[in-house]
Structure 1
Amino acid sequence: MTDRLVDSSGFPRSDIDLVAVTTARSNIVKLKNDHKAVMLQIEEALHAVHAEALAEREKKQEEAAQAAALQNPSSSSSSTTAHTSQPGSGSNTAEAPLTPFAKVNAVALDSPSKEAGLLQGDKIVAFGTVTASTPNVMPSLSEHVQSRENKPILVKVLRGDASELQSVILVPRQGWGGRGMLGCHIVPM
């Protein structure tokens, strides 16, 4: 792959078939590029699968908490607190995951945000790893989006009467036909 194809005088080497060697080198480079592209697709698919599994697990936990609250209405506030502090919630406190830090002010048509299901008025509780307890929330959110281009991000929002927690998977990307990678306008709260 790295040997010179010319001799010390600058003439093509006569001991090898130059056409076969250059064709083989070209094919190897194409295969390496194809391999890189496939590996990126696999990585993105794995991120999406794990994000969906996390969203499904949280949905089931939320449904279990709501069912428990319906069965025992007098202790609904304590069961909700216990639900949010169960394993899988990470190092966040019981209040931090439910504190919105930003609001979706507008969503463009045919944008990644529209495809993910974000709606105008959604209050963002978690945007990937960014939460209300993150220092410099809006700059951190911007950095997170930039670092996750073409990779899925799990976004948790409060919708409607602010008690309905929704999870959507957003894939930021360039070239969707509008400004930015999200296609929505997010304002701090």
Structure 2
Amino acid sequence: MVAPDVKAETMKLMDQRGSLEAEMDAIIARLTAPGGPGITGGLVDAEGFPRSDIDIPNILAQRRRLSELRNDHKDITNKIDKNLEILHSAKLSRDDKSASRRSDTTCPSHTGLSQSEPMEEDPVTALPFALIDEITDGSPASVDGLQLGDEIVKFGNVEAGDRLQERLISEALSNEDSQVPLIVIRQGSVMNVAITPRKWHGRGLLGCHFQML
């Protein structure tokens, strides 16, 4: 069968992406450490000379590596998204066949039959629509436990669809100082977490950045 192979490949890709994210986080932490040049900061002083307080060749190498990792991360994410679509379609097909079989064996009066049945949710079929690629220290996102690399499947009432950025902002604003439930994929596992949008010393109500997938 195709689905099990695709599922195994997807889980492997998620592990690879997790490794990339860990390396990216480490590089970002080094570049943004106190006194560091940052991810895109200038490498020259006010007079236009190379800064003497940093190892410029090393900084350039780290930035180049970070760029490579981001490209690899994007490629792997695209592959994962395609596999998730395949798995999601396969799941819908199985559900339709299962529903058809139940319909064929149902007596005309429907006596004693439940109108709905609980369905086991396969974590790999969850379709994330955004990735958290930046979290500010001390922000609501950081304090409430969100992590870099978390993939957002559901944010309050927001799921995949159109006008995502606008809907996310609206959801956060309308729930200021109220807990918002999230469903995220973290290192291949589906998790339920929560965040309370609120004012803090930084910008916005969350203190994190969503990269749309």
Q: TM-score range, shorter-chain basis?
A: 0.3 to 0.5
> Greater CA radius of gyration, 1 or 2?
1
The alignment's TM-score, normalised by the length of structure 2, stands at: 0.42
